A = this chain, B = another copy of it.
Amino acid sequence: MTDGLEKKKRKSDRVNLADVARAAGVSKMTASRVLNGTKGFSPKTRERVLEQVEKLGYVQNRLAAAFASQGKSTFVGVSIPDLGNEVFTQVLEGIERKLNASGYQAVLCVSQYDGEATQEWLETVLSWQPAGLIVTGRNHAPATRKLLKSSAVPVVEIWDLNSSPLDMSVGINQYDAGYAMGQYMVETGHQRVGYIGTHHDTAHSATARFEGWKAAIRTGGATIVHTHVVQDTPGFYTGYYATEQFLKSCPEVDALFYQNDNLAAGGFMFATSHGLDVPNDIGIAGWGDLPIGAILPKRLTSVHVPHLRMGRVAAEQLLMSLSGEPSSDTIDVGFKLIPGHTLGRRNDTQV
């Protein structure tokens, strides 16, 4: 019984597999099999090994285990743009729940829309041999795209559905969803509409949605009187003051479409606190069906996007891919227009 079990001076004084094996009078391999539940040991052997594990307080070194088995870690890199934006925290929650329930851990990157920071994070995470990656958006910097493509791990792109994804894509068709809202605004008789969003929005993930909306407005024969994009976070107060600015320069607008419900709520509060009636004086439409919509005096017109589900499905697809099950390239989780009461039917067309 050599097996390299002879006692040597070790640098680490942590109990290792060899210690356990020696104490149990078996080889390292046998001990390893017992610990991993792999077949190939007698009940008596098993008992002896486990006894020593308990006695010596052995804890597996997964760094070594993963390394030896050419394996991956149980880490999944998850990149989202912003934690201050409810839609992304909802997606993240969906992802995290599923991963944790399956023994995987989310390694977070909050990109703040900074491509360079994302790239750095990605390089580091990849160097730790993650089990997979979930990234927000489909527009990656060239270097990032290259890295994602050449990585040997499954990658799920979320948010805007990518019909030809790097690997897998889970999301909704943002263009169609934007189009649906644009169409609804035209159908309800609005002629002079406007858009309020933040710079992150138009520059990134919501571009397609915005384009879809514009196309619908144009097709419907209405006019986009102004597009107001501010350099700020897409939160309540931003919607408040952006609406003030918008109405100052374009008081003729009859309906506003906001990047999300929180901005829209800010707009709603500005309008009502300044003597405007919603929707008779001005229509307001949001996006995302966020919690705030439930407590406004009138149900907010919006588009429901199943963010939590999007995250969960993304994680599920990743896990399926890891376990070798066939997984779809793209999954559309769908959206649903919520008519609400902040975008009234107008018959008073501009004669």
Contacts and interface: CB of A to CB of B under 8 A. Distances in A.
Interface of A: 11-12, 14, 57, 59-64, 66-67, 70, 73-75, 78, 83-84, 89-90, 92-93, 96-97, 100, 103, 105-110, 112, 117, 121, 123-129, 150, 152, 235-237, 239-240, 262, 265-266, 269-270, 273, 291-292, 294-297
Q: How many copies does the complex hold?
A: 2
Contacts of A126: 59
Closest 8 CB pairs of A and B: A237-B294, A83-B93, A269-B295, A62-B127, A236-B295, A106-B108, A63-B67, A83-B89
A295 B105 contact: no
21 contacts: A11-B70, A57-B150, A60-B127, A61-B129, A63-B63, A63-B66, A63-B67, A63-B128, A63-B129, A67-B67, A74-B124, A75-B107, A97-B112, A100-B109, A105-B124, A105-B125, A106-B107, A106-B108, A236-B295, A237-B295, A273-B297
A14 B150 CA distance: 10
A344 B291 CA distance: 28
Contact of A236 (B64, B90, B235, B294): B294
Contact of A100 (B66, B103, B110): B110
A108 B96 contact: yes
